[in-house]
Structure 1
Amino acid sequence: MTSELNLIPVVDLLQGQVVRAVRGDRKSYRPIVSALCASSDPVTVARILCEHCAARQLYVADLDALQGGAAQIAVLTDVLEALPHIELWLDVGLADAAAGEAVRKQLAPFASRIVLVFGSESLRSREALERCFENANGDAEAGVPGAALSLDRRDGRRLDQAGCWDAVDLWPRRLIVMTLERVGSGAGPDLETLQEVRRLAPGAMVIGAGGIRSPQDLALASAAGADAWLVASALHDLQLPRVHR
């Protein structure tokens, strides 16, 4: 690799299969066709992606849950059991801290390895945001232990009924900059938005999402201030070489 940027592979789950995310249009997602993984089985795909990236984290977006259904607990359990050394970043459309703790309880044997992702797209209110990340920038642990905030936007519009983007004082130490129209698009990473978040949160771990096409894009993302990047399509299309550590 030409960059030290940490890669976090992404698995998008829909009805028990891995699907290809394209521009955040979830209704159009289809089972993954991959040059890297000859399967859409979640455990198989997760293992191959993590091995290819020498990854320590795996991001899972549960599209059933994100579209109002139940979280795919059995599938998530299988992935956690199969990859015992991986930290799982889990996006299941959490509306508040109570919803996050309910999911963590269902995955109780693996709780110490789960980072719950609270998306601005899904949080129901400013109060919910406050409770998720109470004391996030102080000495105490955040309101929900092991949590991250995803700042979501699409086509220049913030997806943010809770006002997360403007509540900089409530941001936790782990931030995802999620530009949905770049996901699976091959349009390049949204470095301008990432740089703005980095400026506002200089001490945070800032993770970009969407648009990566090459090692050169990763190098540019690192130079822009990203600590890590969520990747999927570029891996499946063999645009990023295997990482060796």
Structure 2
Amino acid sequence: MHIIPVIDLKDGLVVAARQGKRQTYKPLASPLCPQPELPAVIRAYLSVFPFRTFYIADLNAIENNGNNHALITRMLQAHSDISLWIDSGTDPFINDNSVSFRDRVSNVLGSETGISIEQLDHYTRKSDCILSLDYAQGQLLGDPGLLDYPDLLPQRVIIMSLDHVGSHGGPDLERLRTLQEQLPGKQLYAAGGVRNVEDLRQLAANGGHGALLATALHNGTIGSSHLYNFHDQVFAHPDSR
């Protein structure tokens, strides 16, 4: 299992995500990190475990309201040993003209943008990409036809269960099992609802390749002792690929 901490950025600050209701997101203040500034959140995560890959959702870019690219660039400059998965909507952080950080950044392309299989194939050929299949109220947001072309999809696929994010409701194991059948051979990463180590065990038992976490790390239900104690049994050290 790859365990990847999640950071949601809006207007230059880290915000606490809950059930995909972005208009209600507030600046982060948690037991792990009472400050919403990005450098503080990175330090807090690294105090729990030496993570090497982080997922960033640039909510401004996703909502077509500017972006946080400059802030993310400063983070990459400050942490040369860290790689990022970045969802910035239709404004990929790594684009056709980008050179810097290309070996440390993977673009996350969300189905909620309405991306077509042709566009997805274009981006995947140009840079290292990850597909995020975004679900809300049980429905895939975007083009359901994406699932008809598994051979054209990136190797890594995030199952983004927006209704589960920050909800303490547990991961969507049924969706994971369904997509394993639809997308054989893909590396599936669960996002949303993971509460504790038992949830991670269930994801691993059901074929999950990894999990994206925020709330469980911030409230301590998954902490240093869990990650280190189960490192050899459940977890693989995260890497950028």
Q: Same fold (TM over 0.5)?
A: yes
User: What code does the residue aligned with 1:15 have?
Assistant: D
Instruction: After TM superposition, give the deviation of residue 162 of structure 1 in Å.
Output: 6.7
Aligned to 1:183: 165
Alignment of 1:83 onto 2:88: no
User: 2:63 is matched with which residue: 67, 76, 86?
Assistant: 67
1:201-216 alignment, distance < 5 Å: 201-216=183-198
Segments of structure 2 that go 5 or more residues without pairing to the other structure are 232-241
Hey, what does 1:230 align to over in structure 2?
212
Which residue identity does 1:59 align to in structure 2? Y
For residues 93 and 100 of structure 2, the distance between their equivalents in structure 1, rounded to whole angstroms, comes to 15
Q: Compare 150-159 and 195-204 and name the one that shifted more.
A: 195-204
**Counterparts of 1:120-135 in structure 2 under 5 Å?**
120-133=111-124
Give the aligned residue type for 1:129: L
Listed one character per residue, the Cα deviations across residues 92-134 of structure 1 (whole Å, up to 9, x for unaligned) are: 0027xxx5643872xx42221000001111143332123233x
Q: Could you tell me how far 1:160 is from its partner in structure 2?
A: 1.3
1:58-207 equivalent positions in 2, closer than 5 A: 58-94=54-90, 99=92, 101-102=94-95, 105=98, 108-133=99-124, 143-161=125-143, 163-207=145-189
TM-align CA RMSD: 1.9
Alpha-carbon separation, structure 1, partners of 2:47 and 2:146: 34
> What displacement does 1:22 show?
0.3
Moved more, 66-75 or 220-229: 66-75
Alpha-carbon deviations, 1:204-235, whole Å to 9, x = none? 22111000111111111111111110000111
Ranges in structure 1 where 5+ consecutive residues have no aligned partner: 134-142
- Separation of aligned partners in 2, 1:53 and 1:163: 38
Per-residue displacement from partner, 1:33-74 (whole Å, max 9, x unpaired)? 110012111122023214423322100000010111222111
2:21 counterpart of 1:25 = yes
The code of the aligned residue for 2:70 comes to: A
Residue type at the aligned position of 1:222: A
Count of aligned pairs between the two proteins = 227
Are 1:43 and 1:82, in contact at CA under 8 Å, matched by a contact in 2? no
* Residues 94, 102 of structure 2: 8 Å contact kept: no
One-letter code of the match for 1:189?
A: P
| TM-score under structure 2 length normalisation | 0.87
Task: State the match for 2:31 in structure 1.
Answer: 35
Which 4+ stretches in 1 moved above 4 angstroms? none
Contact 2:165 2:193 in 1 (8 A): yes
Query: Does the aligned pair in 2 maintain the 1:9–1:53 contact within 8 Å?
Result: no
Structure 2 letter corresponding to 1:46 = I
